[in-house]
Amino acid sequence: TVPSCGNSLDPSCAATVITAEELVRSDVERDALSALREAAGESGGPMERHCIRDFLIADRLAGAREIDIDRELLLVAALLHDIGIYDSVTSGGVYVAEGAELSAELTRRHGWDEERVRLCSDAVERHHELRSQWDRVAEVEVMRRADLIDFSGGLVRFGLSREWLRDLSRSIPRDGFYRELGGLVAHALRHRPLTLPQIFLR
């Protein structure tokens, strides 16, 4: 889990600025970050910061329930959960499914067993599910909840404090997130409109 105050990765510590480089540790995490940056065409952009916030929120949610999560799996899923929306990686299908396929390819290259590959892919593909995913595995459900928390700007909190979420937004600025996301969604609406309902309803 993310360390407590006194460590630079705690957003509640004063003047903390958290970057993706501080979070990635393993080769597969670094490759997931590189894949995201290549797809987005930039480093440290709004969508990358959204992915980092999602990871930290998911980690916090798991910690609040004292759930022992697979940190590497969760970080890879967080970094790749929206990658399928970019034209550079899409084949025109449902973006969450394409992101799941990409995550499976990447994690297999790093020698993950098929069960772990599937769980990571599920966390990517099911992050917009309308129903709880606790019946799958904790990483899938905390990823789903984290994305909803960050997308809503903390209006949905699943028990997290407003203060912690405000600190997180200061540490990892939300600047440009809705503009970037809106542009990507508008593009998808023009080029693959029939796929968008399938993000929520299979």
Q: Quick: pLDDT tens for 88-146.
A: 888 778 999 999 999 999 999 999 999 999 999 999 999 999 999 999 999 999 999 99
Query: What is the pTM assigned to this prediction?
Result: 0.91
Task: Output the pLDDT for position 63.
Answer: 96
Q: Quick: pLDDT tens for 8-50.
A: 467 765 447 899 999 999 999 999 999 999 999 999 999 999 9
Residue 76, pLDDT > 80, answer: yes
CA distance 102 to 84: 8
Residue 136 identity: R
- Fill in the DSSP letter of residue 85: G
Residue 139: partners with Cβ closer than 8 Å, 6 or more residues away: 58, 62, 69, 70, 73, 74, 77, 119, 120, 123
Residue 71: partners with Cβ closer than 8 Å, 6 or more residues away: 1, 59
For residue 104, CA distances in Å to 36, 113, 148 come to 14, 10, 23
Terminal CA-CA length for the chain: 32
CA distance 56 to 77: 12
Sequence-ordered alpha helix ranges (H) in 81-192: 95-109, 114-125, 138-151, 162-171, 177-191
Residue 64, pLDDT > 60, answer: yes
- Fill in the DSSP letter of residue 92: S
